[in-house]
Structure 1
């Protein structure tokens, strides 16, 4: 795929002094969603190109699409209804449920909208889902990402000659980084308030109760971890809190009530929505790999690797990473796009600025591996590291560790030992894993939530079940009420 700079060419936006006024005048138009005149250096076709180009990488990086055709279809159906009720119905709107446990929802320019199974698992009605989808549609119709790019561009005039992004990004961004660059163009408080209002507009146009916005905002406030705890953007990172958004939505409801609009009969669809969640994976899925301390095990791909003791670790959809406490070294395991380990190593060694040492090869337990130490000259200085490519199970893996050359000696032994720990996973006890899942139940009689937990125990903490249902542990449940509990889950601990 082409680098991002080839899609949004800096040359296309170069604002030379004598042309600046003409360019700005020709780029000023009325935003169809907000009714405001705005300067935009990104056309609609460029918005679509950015979103379309980044969509495959973002989807893959966040776990791929969740394997539930009925759920995918319903989310798409609701999203398309909102899009058709918006001011930009002709965009190539695409709605995806991603197989990621993070509580997250976001949009790319051009109409590409994503929600994770993580955020869905804490929702309790379609009105909540429609509130989130409407909010994300609002970001697209109001062209918030295009606006962020334009402001960034205008701020760089005369400094970098009109480049959309820094030289580092333009020179080094792969497609996954390009997609994250779009996500990291943080929305302003004004953008968030505007998208909340637009989401309210769109969901009421398709007859969904806007109380769902308040309910989902309350859920997000109770469940979202801090950005520092997560390795990729979460709701709270890509959607900074603009203040008390629940109160803002309640003011909209009160205003409409004063005007005689009570939304009586507008859809909430709690029971049918919970039916869609019945059986959904809840939390992390150990089939995608799990850690026991710093030992990473992948039961489906049937391999394991042990990272250095005391290092921080993270399992992502496309890579497993680890870093030392001093933040002077990093390791990563991912797939290599090569026909063999030898071919992958040849490709790595052929890169400009890379020098590899003597190669070591071995074949043991079905792993055909080649390993070498290396140095690499970069703009930030010389890096030193070790890399191994391994043919195993029909795939080629890259296991890499590196750091600044000056401090490499202090971690060299730990890193090379960790790389060489890559091996087949054969212990049946460690291969036998299963995720937690949502089970939706109908309460047979009036009871407290504590009584429900005692009568129908879950396999996660009671507090987690309460969060999933958005009730307090002292809440009272009514006969016939639909309630989630969490069942199953089999993850070895040692």
Structure 2
């Protein structure tokens, strides 16, 4: 995306044109360059891209549950006029997010880690809070006034990310990072909204501990938006507990629901972790059982899978490979469509070939950009593309690097493409996902003993303790429900 540059006078004019808007939550006037109508339009335009990128989770009961609770909560929010839409998306990542216009998404990964309806409701209220307080609109206003471009996350370098962003159809525009004040305000709104519909909001604080433990276990920096901001998780835990207590006292200490067993029964059978049917990586090979193909991954490269594409990047961030479906009925049509979508200019004539019995076409092209200092057209990145045809399906495997690095990576790009072949191994074709299994304990014991009695491997004790939101030494009564994982 081209950076939007506004001189000071232009920014001031825009601010005057947009005028001040009253924030629905605070009642205060604030500069806002994005109208409510524009917010709604952005959401309507972006929702198909989100669902295409991540996929909807195919479970009518769970989708009905989030829609019922979400609509009920939206009705008691500060923007009851918004037609909120709620989705559970088919991703194992533990996350929830909202985009402008009232579109709220929960991953199946986060649904697996809630241990009662109250935890779910607290996070749902938090995400609705981002919408009601117009945090996305405010962030975009600040970006324009501050002459800051919108940014997205990629697994490669910023230079290659510019190419990958186009492949992701602008998805990076949807995920704005909220600041400390916005997150605290959404925590407060999460307490308020979930309490209003009858849930114990202190459970949201307990869920922060689950997320913190999960982060420590995975030793990763990739954590949910509502946990990845500046407030310390322990501080947020204490603050949310205080807010929940204050709300109870101010409203006559009503009896509020937790609903642990009801929630656990709802998610019994939920897919846990990666779903093999969407493709999986094993021993540096990517397998796709549903589409029946496989290809190698360069040693040491990182990978990222989604329903719409598969990406690989070398650790140095100088080489990127993207596999995605291509439009058209022939490799030539597909190559032309990809070149148009990615703004590519061929540097040599494409050539027809065959890869392990699949008709294919190979091309080299540059994504031309304008040098901001000289104004001249220069090659931003160079692409080695392979269009591979499997019956009526066409796939584009695009190797991307800076022109100077292209000779170094071209052989690896070709090696991956030439390794594309039919998947025939029965154990890969029939690979089943793990699912959440809810079991009732027959005897009182601690959680670790309960795992052992239900055949959980010792190496997974801590993982499943986090999944259950308990320490391993916590005592669990006979008749209690716990989560384990199985095929």
**d(CA) in 2 for partners of 1:405, 1:175:** 19
Residue 61 (structure 1) aligns with: 53
| 1:74-473 equivalences in 2 (<5 Å) | 74-156=65-147, 174=166, 176-183=168-175, 185-224=176-215, 229=220, 234-236=223-225, 239-243=228-232, 244-256=235-247, 258-259=249-250, 261-264=252-255, 266-348=256-338, 354-363=345-354, 367-379=358-370, 381-382=378-379, 383-458=381-456, 461-473=460-472
User: What per-residue deviation string (whole Å, max 9, x for no partner) do you get for residues 290-342 of structure 1?
Assistant: 11232111111100111222322222332211222332211111111222212
- Tell whether the 8 Å contact from 2:96 to 2:225 is kept in structure 1 after alignment: no
User: What per-residue deviation string (whole Å, max 9, x for no partner) do you get for residues 366-391 of structure 1?
Assistant: 52211123344334643333211011
**d(CA) in 2 for partners of 1:337, 1:480:** 54
User: What per-residue deviation string (whole Å, max 9, x for no partner) do you get for residues 136-161 of structure 1?
Assistant: 000100000111111222223xxx9x
**d(CA) in 1 for partners of 2:301, 2:164:** 27
**d(CA) in 1 for partners of 2:65, 2:49:** 23
- Tell whether the 8 Å contact from 1:301 to 1:393 is kept in structure 2 after alignment: no
**d(CA) in 1 for partners of 2:444, 2:189:** 39
Unaligned regions of 5+ residues in structure 2, if any?
153-158, 372-377
Deviation (angstroms), 1:17: 7.9
TM-score w.r.t. length of structure 1: 0.86
User: What per-residue deviation string (whole Å, max 9, x for no partner) do you get for residues 348-373 of structure 1?
Assistant: 45786612424332346652211123
**Structure 2 CA distance for partners of 1:259 and 1:462, relative to 1, 3 Å:** same
**Structure 2 CA distance for partners of 1:141 and 1:455, relative to 1, 3 Å:** same
**Structure 2 CA distance for partners of 1:170 and 1:388, relative to 1, 3 Å:** closer
TM-score w.r.t. length of structure 2: 0.87
**d(CA) in 1 for partners of 2:41, 2:97:** 17
User: What per-residue deviation string (whole Å, max 9, x for no partner) do you get for residues 409-451 of structure 1?
Assistant: 2222222121111111112222120111111111112112122
The range that moved more, 48-57 or 398-407, is 398-407
**Structure 2 CA distance for partners of 1:171 and 1:486, relative to 1, 3 Å:** closer
Q: 2:469 aligned with 1:479, yes or no? A: no
The range that moved more, 127-136 or 87-96, is 87-96
User: What per-residue deviation string (whole Å, max 9, x for no partner) do you get for residues 176-231 of structure 1?
Assistant: 45342231x2111110111111111111111111122212222222223699947x
Deviation (angstroms), 1:251: 1.5
What is the number of equivalent residue pairs in this alignment?
469
The range that moved more, 460-469 or 190-199, is 460-469
**d(CA) in 1 for partners of 2:137, 2:482:** 41
**d(CA) in 1 for partners of 2:384, 2:478:** 62
**d(CA) in 2 for partners of 1:352, 1:116:** 32
Residue 375 (structure 2) aligns with: none
- Tell whether the 8 Å contact from 2:303 to 2:310 is kept in structure 1 after alignment: yes
- Tell whether the 8 Å contact from 1:187 to 1:239 is kept in structure 2 after alignment: no
The range that moved more, 301-310 or 273-282, is 301-310
**d(CA) in 2 for partners of 1:236, 1:227:** 17
**Aligned CA-pair RMSD:** 3.2
**d(CA) in 2 for partners of 1:375, 1:46:** 35
- Tell whether the 8 Å contact from 1:384 to 1:408 is kept in structure 2 after alignment: yes
